[in-house]
Chain A
Amino acid sequence: MADEQKGFPLPSSLKVVPGTEAAQAAYPYYTQFHAGDDQRFWFYNSMHFPEPMHHFDMITAEAAYCALGSFNTRVHVLPTTKGIDHRIINGRVFIGGVPVTDPEEIEARMGEFQQRAFYYYENWEDLYAQWKDKMKALIAEAQALPTPELPELEPIETTHTGKGVASNHALLDIYRKQLEGYFRMWHHHFEFLLLGYGAYLTFFDFCKKAFPEISDQAISRMVAGMEAEIFRPDEELKRLARRAVELGVDEKFHDGMVIEDVLGALDQLGEQGQEWLDELEASRNPWFNVNVGDGFYHYHRSWNDDLSMPFAALPGYIEKIKVGQNIERPTEQLVEEREQLVADYRELLDTEEDKATYDQLIGLAHRVFPYVEGHKFYCEHWYTNLFFNKIREFGALLAENGFWEKEEDVFHLTHYELESAIVDLMLSWSSGTPPIGPQRWPAIVADRQAAIATWTEHSVPPALGAVPDVIEDPAIVMLWGITRESLDAWLSDGEGDENELKGFAACSGVVEGTARVIKSVGEIDRIATGDILVCQVTNPTWSPLFQKISAAVSDIGGSMSHMAIVAREYGLPAVVGTGTATQKIKDGQRIRVDGGRGTVTILEDEPVLEDA
């Protein structure tokens, strides 16, 4: 076969884009490719990090892999795999698994795993309840951290209480606590994740063997939770829409409204308006702490930071409520449907043995699933928002002191560099002399900003190094869906029909319509009823849009991704994980989405001209 000749480039052959050498060198030394790396297989983690990484945002990869590996390698002791190594080049994160191949070592780890992981499965509900308490405590700690600031003179209370510590020390204290909290959050994140996915995949695997042609969607529908946190933000919006109608303030909400004006008008409206604003506050904390990406980039802001996304959905919901349509999520009906589905598939099994196994596996999957679906809200959304916003406060303080121009510039520094800038400011406040940073950082910020722009224009290969015969690493299969088959597909990319994109079939149905390629939240008001949403990734923030669109396509995501789950709820055809939809499809083009086959076809080469 011709495919056997093919392979991915070696890491050493991948060059830093000219002009970005300094920005590349600024990533920590342990993330740079080095000599031994040519002997290993790496793939570009475009699922979690689809865009070049700002230097500060790299902390997400670092903290996540510190935690993921620890739980795999040393806490649960997965028999066949250890952690994940990561490397950065041209702003892109490549990762490599560390499989265990020595049969004796696997055997020894197997014993450990059964002792440790099984304890988690046996005590899942208690441990998960404990987990939520830990997360809420961690969130409360982060919320309690004060805003970093430096007074001209220390307040007199410092003297009167004999405090003995001056304000500049608080900067280091807050920063380190916030960093510590972020690393800790990622440990909590991986405490259950692999075990949860593993139990789910065991059921998945069984279904694929018993029903070779079953769709991934059917299996996820059998497992999907009903009270999952991911639906909650959207449910809160529906509640707010209903309250607006009940309170008679609904005429304030319309397409193209200016949010500040609406809030102001409601404030002036007396009791009714005030009551709605109170309801809004109740929803915002915590449910508007969902961000518009997966929480891995500082610029994925939350609903709380930018109310345009949630508010854009309100007029549509209000309209539906006023014509008497029920927009509440029919939880009971969904539970019934799920139970029916589980029973119907069970009936098709031939042997009593298989029915018993099926009962065991679906039982386990249902027990672990609340974590799999629910953890993201606490980790990637709520905590991550607090974290990046705290860093923003440091960005603003340092900008005030001339380190750079705007608060967002802080994200061009690594977390080590940021600590040095903070210490610089602490020293300057202490000595009464100007800080050195303002002479150093503006040029560096500009250089890195340019580098990110350059890297965005340069794509990288999907993988590097020799292709392994089989991917045995359950972590890589589970989290990234990478198998020998998907690698072969990558290797033969470009040989198929140029106008056809392939992805995961997320929700069946065929729809033709106008593509709206949406690259940021700011563009959501361009979506007209009946359009097909084409975007990189969706998350709970985007749910309200699903009431308007006729189909959905994403670059990133598997059959359990947010878009897939919500599309199934709304019964919309969806194809996720196409890799390149936002690049290949032009805004306004007519496309056909076949959610059953997992294909998207571009029907016209040129976008239709539209009114400007």
Chain B
Amino acid sequence: MSGSIAWFPDVGIADRPTVGGKGGSLGELTQAGIDVPPGFVVTTHAFEQFLSALEAREPVRSKVEALEQGDMDAITALSRELRARVEEEPMPAELEQAMADAYGELCKAGEPVAVRSSATTEDADDASFAGLQDTFLWVLSAQDMIHRVRECWGSLYSVESITYRLKHGLPEEGVAMGVVVQQMVDARTAGVMFTRSPTSGDKSVITIEGAWGLGSAVVSGEVTPDRWVIGKITGEISVRDISDKHAQQIPAQGGGIEEVELPADKRSAPCLSDDELQALRDVGRKIERHYGKPQDIEWALDKQGQILLLQSRPETVWSAKDTVPVKKPEADPLKHVMTIFGGKR
């Protein structure tokens, strides 16, 4: 993968170093036959190409390496300078053209896109700590899209990001990022799905959280989502918490999103039907089986009720815990009944 643009069907998890975790995962899902809105990744090669152009004018990486850890004034000043350069200095023409061409191919009818940073770090948590989780929704033109890509790149030089690298002694050489550009659905309902209980770690249930409108409302925590717990194997719905969803996020005129209040009857109505819950469960199982481990998934339903996958990443909290047997093994099966009859429950 040496080009500046990589389309979803052509990439997988193994391409993480050039397309980042998010891009690799969306490619992987697309290849697995899951419905993912189409898109491409602006690869790390694109970033490197752009950075070379910047470095040719004035150093970037060496300036960061020269910073003292803890010298906040200097870090803040350099961050401001470098972000401005990333966002404003001219870009190699062929690179800009490649991005514009890809956009043109993706959005033949002017479909809106989401632009998201796709960090190359192994652990999604690292990316959060390092401030590498930018998302720009409902982007409506090639020009705007390219600007948002620059903003994502610029976040590599945010104060948090620089501080994180200094603290962990990470070299500037190789600091790069992919940026995902993906067609966006005007979601009727969207949310997240955990194929392992976030509260108990139970692998036999799927927890689904969702709200009306775009998923950003759920991910950002601005709306309390409806919540269901479904037997992964049985499909029985054991928990139905229908919340008061006071608002929803929808596309704004001229790009971006806005929050609007919901009428009373819609606030307290479940945002998914039982059939839709079961369809989501099927998709969740399929993805989990594909990766061979529990997943945290972002999904959306378009206005026609079709399920689309926006992101999937491996569950990390419970998986990191030691797996000790639930019960001490016994050679004689009958010894097990002593847990009931022996009074040591």
Task: Give A contacts to B, CB under 8 Å.
Answer: 78-80, 106, 110, 113-114, 117-118, 121-122, 198-199, 201-202, 205-206, 209-215, 217-218, 221, 341, 344-345, 348-351, 353-354, 356-357, 360-361, 363-364, 472, 474, 478, 505, 508-510, 594, 596-597
Cβ contact within 8 Å between B239 and A596: yes
With A106-B343, A218-B233 known as contacts, the answer to whether A353 contacts B329 (CB < 8 A) is yes
Task: Please tell me if B167 contacts chain A, counting CB pairs below 8 Å.
Answer: no
Q: Give the distance in Å from the alpha carbon of A211 to the alpha carbon of B232 in the complex.
A: 11
Pairs of residues from A and B, 6 with the lowest C-beta to C-beta distance, nearest first: A360-B333, A80-B343, A211-B204, A508-B236, A212-B200, A353-B325
- Contact partner of B334 (CB less than 8 A), chosen from A118, A509, A597, is A118
Cβ contact within 8 Å between A205 and B343: no
Shortest Cβ distance from A121 into B: residue: B334
Task: Please tell me if B327 contacts chain A, counting CB pairs below 8 Å.
Answer: yes
18 A-B Cβ contacts within 8 A?
A80-B343, A113-B341, A205-B339, A205-B340, A206-B326, A211-B204, A212-B201, A213-B205, A214-B205, A215-B236, A217-B236, A353-B329, A354-B325, A354-B327, A363-B333, A364-B333, A596-B239, A597-B240
Cβ contact within 8 Å between A596 and B238: yes
For B329, the chain A residues whose CB sits under 8 A away are 353, 356-357
Given A212-B201, A218-B204, A363-B333, 20 other A-B residues pairs in contact with their CB atoms under 8 A: A79-B341, A80-B343, A206-B326, A206-B336, A211-B204, A213-B202, A214-B204, A217-B234, A217-B236, A218-B236, A221-B234, A341-B233, A341-B234, A348-B232, A354-B327, A357-B326, A505-B238, A508-B236, A508-B237, A596-B239
- Contact partner of B197 (CB less than 8 A), chosen from A114, A212, A217, is A212
Cβ contact within 8 Å between A209 and B237: no
With A202-B337, A360-B333, A472-B343 known as contacts, the answer to whether A212 contacts B202 (CB < 8 A) is yes
Task: Please tell me if B147 contacts chain A, counting CB pairs below 8 Å.
Answer: no
Those of B193-208 within 8 Å (CB) of chain A: 197, 200-205
Cβ contact within 8 Å between B327 and A206: yes
For A341, the chain B residues whose CB sits under 8 A away are 233-234
CB distance from A398 to the nearest CB of B (A): 46
Q: Give the distance in Å from the alpha carbon of A364 to the alpha carbon of B337 in the complex.
A: 10
For A508, the chain B residues whose CB sits under 8 A away are 236-238
Chain B binding surface SS class: loop
**Among B231, B236, B337: residue with most chain A CB under 10 A:** B337
Cβ contact within 8 Å between B340 and A201: yes
Cβ contact within 8 Å between B330 and A79: no
Task: Give B contacts to A, CB under 8 Å.
Answer: 197, 200-205, 229, 231-234, 236-240, 323-327, 329-330, 333-334, 336-343, 345
Shortest Cβ distance from A215 into B: residue: B238
Cβ contact within 8 Å between A198 and B340: yes
User: How many contacts between A and B, using CB within 8 angstroms?
Assistant: 125
For B334, the chain A residues whose CB sits under 8 A away are 114, 118, 121-122, 364
Cβ contact within 8 Å between A214 and B202: yes
Q: Give the distance in Å from the alpha carbon of A210 to the alpha carbon of B323 in the complex.
A: 11
Q: Give the distance in Å from the alpha carbon of A202 to the alpha carbon of B337 in the complex.
A: 6
With A78-B341, A80-B343, A121-B337 known as contacts, the answer to whether A351 contacts B325 (CB < 8 A) is yes
For A201, the chain B residues whose CB sits under 8 A away are 340
- Contact partner of B327 (CB less than 8 A), chosen from A114, A209, A363, is A209
Q: Give the distance in Å from the alpha carbon of A341 to the alpha carbon of B204 in the complex.
A: 11
Q: Give the distance in Å from the alpha carbon of A214 to the alpha carbon of B234 in the complex.
A: 10
- Contact partner of B204 (CB less than 8 A), chosen from A113, A198, A345, A596, is A345
CB distance from A256 to the nearest CB of B (A): 36
Cβ contact within 8 Å between A350 and B240: no
Shortest Cβ distance from A205 into B: residue: B339
Cβ contact within 8 Å between B238 and A198: no
For B233, the chain A residues whose CB sits under 8 A away are 218, 341, 344-345, 348
**Among A78, A80, A202, A213: residue with most chain B CB under 10 A:** A213
Cβ contact within 8 Å between B333 and A211: no
Cβ contact within 8 Å between B240 and A596: yes
Shortest Cβ distance from B196 into A: residue: A348
Cβ contact within 8 Å between B236 and A596: yes
CB distance from B319 to the nearest CB of A (A): 10
Q: Give the distance in Å from the alpha carbon of A474 to the alpha carbon of B344 in the complex.
A: 11
Q: Give the distance in Å from the alpha carbon of A505 to the alpha carbon of B236 in the complex.
A: 11
Shortest Cβ distance from A217 into B: residue: B236
Cβ contact within 8 Å between A357 and B343: no
Cβ contact within 8 Å between B203 and A211: yes
For A206, the chain B residues whose CB sits under 8 A away are 326-327, 336
**Among B205, B229, B341: residue with most chain A CB under 10 A:** B341
For B342, the chain A residues whose CB sits under 8 A away are 79-80, 110
CB distance from B216 to the nearest CB of A (A): 28
Q: Give the distance in Å from the alpha carbon of A309 to the alpha carbon of B238 in the complex.
A: 33
CB distance from A385 to the nearest CB of B (A): 33
Cβ contact within 8 Å between A354 and B202: no
CB distance from B323 to the nearest CB of A (A): 4
For B337, the chain A residues whose CB sits under 8 A away are 117, 121, 198-199, 202, 364
Cβ contact within 8 Å between B203 and A348: yes
CB distance from B143 to the nearest CB of A (A): 49
For B323, the chain A residues whose CB sits under 8 A away are 350-351
CB distance from B228 to the nearest CB of A (A): 9
CB distance from B324 to the nearest CB of A (A): 8
Cβ contact within 8 Å between A597 and B231: no
CB distance from A365 to the nearest CB of B (A): 10
Shortest Cβ distance from A195 into B: residue: B337
For A212, the chain B residues whose CB sits under 8 A away are 197, 200-202
Q: Give the distance in Å from the alpha carbon of A397 to the alpha carbon of B345 in the complex.
A: 54
For B338, the chain A residues whose CB sits under 8 A away are 110, 114
Q: Give the distance in Å from the alpha carbon of A345 to the alpha carbon of B202 in the complex.
A: 11
